[in-house]
Amino acid sequence: MKALSKAEIDEFRAHFQGKILFPEDDDYHEVRQIWNAMIDRKPALIVRCTSTEDVVQAIQFGREQHLLISIRGGGHNIAGNAVCDDGLMIDLSLMKRVEVDLNTRRATVEPGCTLGDFDAAAQAHGLATPLGINSTTGVAGLTLGGGFGWLSRKYGMTIDNLLSAEVVTADGRLLHASGSENADLFWGLRGGGGNFGVVTRFEFQLHPVGPDVLSGLIVFPFDQARSVISQFARFTQTMPEELNVWMVTRKAPPLPFLPEEAHGKEMVALALCYVGHPEMGEQLIAPLRGFGTAIGEHIGVMPYVAWQQAFDPLLAKGARNYWKSHNFVQISEGVIDAIVDYAARLPSPHCEIFIGTIGGHTTQVAPEAMAYSSRDANYVMNVHGRWETAEEDERCVAWAREFFAKTQPFASSGAYINFLTQEETDRIAFAYGATWDRLVELKSKYDPMNLFRMNQNIKPV
């Protein structure tokens, strides 16, 4: 980037109310670090916004100075697009306000909020909207890429519950986008990632949830994996929308409900959440216990916010992460064979393969209704490579890529954009599928110079 003069910086400071960080500042390195430790980029400057007006000023400054711009919300994205080298990092993580309207069951959420922030505010009133499964994930990035989690079978994708958004576009305008105002922009925001502007306020529909839900884990030994996963695949095809069951296979962490001899050994676990009456839920999940001879179980009625945080210790910031992902209409025998094969040779104690079950309400929206089009996906599989040192990079990445290739013949159309890594630019058009051409047109309208390109980028014409 070009060297910024003191006069240019001083002029920007005069209009910017947040904090500006340079590499020599004490907290610069802390702010530039994000969830995935494989990302080690150094922006020329970081601007920490505290208001929508700060965002407007930051975008105008970046555009006028011809700077590469990256946008940080929660900083949890696997590709690490929150941070750029030698450019301008716009940090939204200080904008964390959540307001809940009980009369309309709506919430307005600022872009620095994590899932934990949003869940806590909504669950204080027994309300929630479908989000992800890790409380430290940012609401903004999750939403703009689609968003799914435990509630999605009942209430849809996160974007299915987005009612409106306040957006700062590449030319510095502040627009309100909804079904009735700037409807084309609203269409693109629901799955189009950060390609069309910076959202400074989200408005979500809320639903009655909990505040206590039946949830937990059933863990089986790995020698029963093929049978358990096959039964999981059949069971999830017919379960009611109130129930969600996911599958994960990995080396068992030292959970207190597992026998000590199982710690560090391969296992297969079923994770579940039921958002109806717990007694009905107990009847519905009873067949899961018959899938094999479990080595441990931890199921009970717990606060929904606690279940949303249950996997946080396994997904803490600071490890090196690499993902590969497929969508599936169904879990075929070929997929199960590959899972059993590759889960038997995990390259790190922290690696895992999980299948998130969606379907239900998520499939009841037309593919062209919004930017996210993968409405035939009943399952999203993520190969989660996770390890501690750079010396393990080659081995762990190769394992993930090989498994991805082995399961590709069984995958359905599209891909979940939030799970794409930084080098998967060849999969972006495939991920969007039927909506790709319209997205390119929309990008050309709202960001013709591709100012917002630190993302899974949709290039303008």
Do 132 and 224 fall into the same domain? Answer: no
Given a contact cutoff of 8 angstroms between Cβ atoms, the answer to whether 132 and 75 are in contact is no
Asked whether residue 293 is assigned to any structural domain, the reply reads yes
Indicate the helix (H) or strand (E) that contains 161. none
Question: What pLDDT is attached to residue 79?
Answer: 96
Do 87 and 103 fall into the same domain? Answer: no
Asked whether residue 453 is assigned to any structural domain, the reply reads no
Q: Of 285, 274, 234, 248, which is closest to residue 150 (Cα–Cα)?
A: 274
Do 295 and 442 fall into the same domain? Answer: no
pLDDT band per the 50, 70, 90 thresholds, residue 2: low
The three-point CA angle 13-112-418 to 5° equals: 120
Do 234 and 250 fall into the same domain? Answer: yes
303 three-class SS: strand
Asked whether residue 1 is assigned to any structural domain, the reply reads no
Asked whether residue 45 is assigned to any structural domain, the reply reads yes
Given a contact cutoff of 8 angstroms between Cβ atoms, the answer to whether 202 and 139 are in contact is yes
Question: What pLDDT is attached to residue 208?
Answer: 98
Question: What pLDDT is attached to residue 181?
Answer: 98
Question: What pLDDT is attached to residue 3?
Answer: 79
Task: Identify any residues that bridge with 101 across adjacent strands, giving them in sequence order.
Answer: 106
Asked whether residue 342 is assigned to any structural domain, the reply reads yes
Instruction: Give dist(CA 110, CA 52) in Å, integer.
Output: 9
In the predicted model, is pLDDT for residue 393 greater than 90? Answer: yes
Do 44 and 69 fall into the same domain? Answer: yes
Residue type, 216: G
Given a contact cutoff of 8 angstroms between Cβ atoms, the answer to whether 119 and 304 are in contact is yes
Asked whether residue 2 is assigned to any structural domain, the reply reads no
pLDDT digits (tens, 9 = 90+) for 186-239: 999 999 999 999 999 999 999 999 999 999 999 999 999 999 999 999 999 999
Do 218 and 203 fall into the same domain? Answer: no
In the predicted model, is pLDDT for residue 122 greater than 70? Answer: yes
Q: What percentage of the chain reaches a pLDDT higher than 70?
A: 100
Question: What pLDDT is attached to residue 142?
Answer: 98
Number of domains in the chain: 3
Do 363 and 352 fall into the same domain? Answer: yes
442: domain CATH number is 3.30.465.10
Do 353 and 248 fall into the same domain? Answer: yes
362 three-class SS: helix
Average pLDDT in the chain? 97
The three-point CA angle 240-241-243 to 5° equals: 75
Asked whether residue 452 is assigned to any structural domain, the reply reads no
Question: What pLDDT is attached to residue 4?
Answer: 86
71: domain CATH number is 3.30.43.10
Domain hosting residue 128, numbered range: 98-209+435-446
pLDDT band per the 50, 70, 90 thresholds, residue 414: very high
In the predicted model, is pLDDT for residue 1 greater than 80? Answer: no
Domain boundary among 56, 74, 91: 91
pLDDT digits (tens, 9 = 90+) for 31-40: 999 999 999 9
Do 169 and 301 fall into the same domain? Answer: no
Could you tell me the two tokens for 277?
A: 């009456």
Do 47 and 103 fall into the same domain? Answer: no
Question: What pLDDT is attached to residue 197?
Answer: 98
Domain boundary among 58, 91, 124: 91
Question: What pLDDT is attached to residue 370?
Answer: 98
pLDDT digits (tens, 9 = 90+) for 62-118: 999 999 999 999 999 999 999 999 999 999 999 999 999 999 999 999 999 999 999
Q: What is the mean pLDDT of residues 126-137?
A: 97
Asked whether residue 427 is assigned to any structural domain, the reply reads no
